[in-house]
């Protein structure tokens, strides 16, 4: 834990210098800064939750950018630092859902590749999927607040909206672009307390 405090301390100086700007506009952050944030977040998950983050050239199939299996988070190694950081936090949120006390509540959510065209879902199934994604985002915000304070809340909220819009626009797992269009100033997502989780091996779930 002392090493973890040291890593967070390394980031602290840079955060303090940029904080007054970040509260207004995170777009002033450099990509190198996000690489540092990604590194700190990865190490925090390993030490605090025993949840390793693995980078791979291919996450099982070329159409996937990340996955979680209850014991690890995997992301593509060619992702930019902002996309990678968002994905790590978001897949942590889904890991909490799958390994937390309410895991049975998500068993009926359609997440298989045949349902990636969410426009074909019933209204009820669509709303369940929206809730599932929103709650994962709330757990992700809590993670980011625990590690960095609230200075990344606007950044993550903007990415979460863009990711949802991207996901709901997919019509085929084999015919889609990974270009996610992030727009500044979306409504901020509120953090949700992370419950105790019991990491265990499960069938992998994938991000596109």
Residues 90-108 have pLDDT tens digits of: 999 999 999 999 888 776 6
Q: What is the mean pLDDT of residues 26-35?
A: 89
Q: Give CA torsion, residues 41, 46, 52, 54, to 10 deg.
A: 40
CB 18 within 8 A of CB 29: yes
3-class SS string, the chain = CHHHHHHHHHHHHHHHHHHHHHCCCHHHCCHHHHHHHHHHHHHHHHHHHCCCEEEECCECECCCCEEECCCCEEEECCCCHHHHHHHHHHHHHHHHHHHCCCHHHHCCCCCCHHHCCHHHCCHHHHHHHHHHHHHHHHHHHHHHHHHHCCCCHHHHHHHHHHHHHHHHCCCCCCCCCCCCCCCCCCCCCCCCCCCCCCCCCCCCEEEC
Would you state the pLDDT for residue 119? 61
Would you state the pLDDT for residue 161? 95
Domain count, the chain: 1
pLDDT band at 23 (very low <50, low <70, confident <90, very high): low
pLDDT band at 50 (very low <50, low <70, confident <90, very high): very high
Residue 99 to residue 19: CA distance in whole angstroms: 34
Q: What is the pLDDT of residues 105-119, one digit of tens each?
A: 776 665 544 445 556
Choose between 171 and 100: higher pLDDT: 100
Would you state the pLDDT for residue 115? 44
Q: Residue 81 pLDDT > 90, yes or no?
A: yes
Q: What is the mean pLDDT of residues 169-192?
A: 76
Residue 75 class from Cβ within 10 Å (0-12 exposed, 13-18 middle, 19+ buried)? buried
pTM given for the model: 0.84
Range of the structural domain that residue 108 is part of: 2-207
Q: What is the mean pLDDT of residues 62-77?
A: 91
Lowest mean pLDDT among 7-16, 36-45, 93-102, 192-201: 7-16
């Amino acid at each position: 834990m002392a090493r973890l405090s040291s890593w967070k301390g390394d980031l602290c100086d840079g955060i303090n210098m940029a904080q007054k700007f970040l509260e207004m506009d995170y777009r002033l952050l450099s990509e190198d800064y996000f690489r540092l944030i990604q590194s700190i977040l990865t190490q925090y998950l390993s030490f605090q939750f025993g949840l390793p983050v693995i980078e791979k050239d291919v996450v099982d199939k070329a159409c996937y950018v990340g996955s979680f299996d209850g014991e690890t988070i995997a992301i593509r190694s060619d992702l930019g630092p902002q996309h990678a950081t968002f994905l790590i936090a978001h897949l942590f949120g889904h890991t909490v859902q799958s390994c937390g006390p309410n895991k049975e509540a998500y068993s009926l959510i359609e997440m298989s590749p045949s349902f990636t065209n969410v426009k074909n879902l019933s209204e009820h199934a669509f709303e369940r999927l929206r809730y599932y994604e929103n709650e994962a985002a709330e757990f992700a915000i809590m993670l980011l607040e625990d590690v960095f304070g609230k200075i990344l809340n606007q950044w993550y909220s903007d990415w979460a909206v863009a990711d949802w819009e991207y996901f709901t626009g997919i019509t085929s797992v084999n015919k889609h672009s990974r270009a996610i269009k992030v727009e500044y100033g979306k409504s901020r997502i509120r953090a949700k307390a992370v419950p105790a989780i019991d990491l265990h091996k499960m069938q992998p779930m994938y991000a596109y």
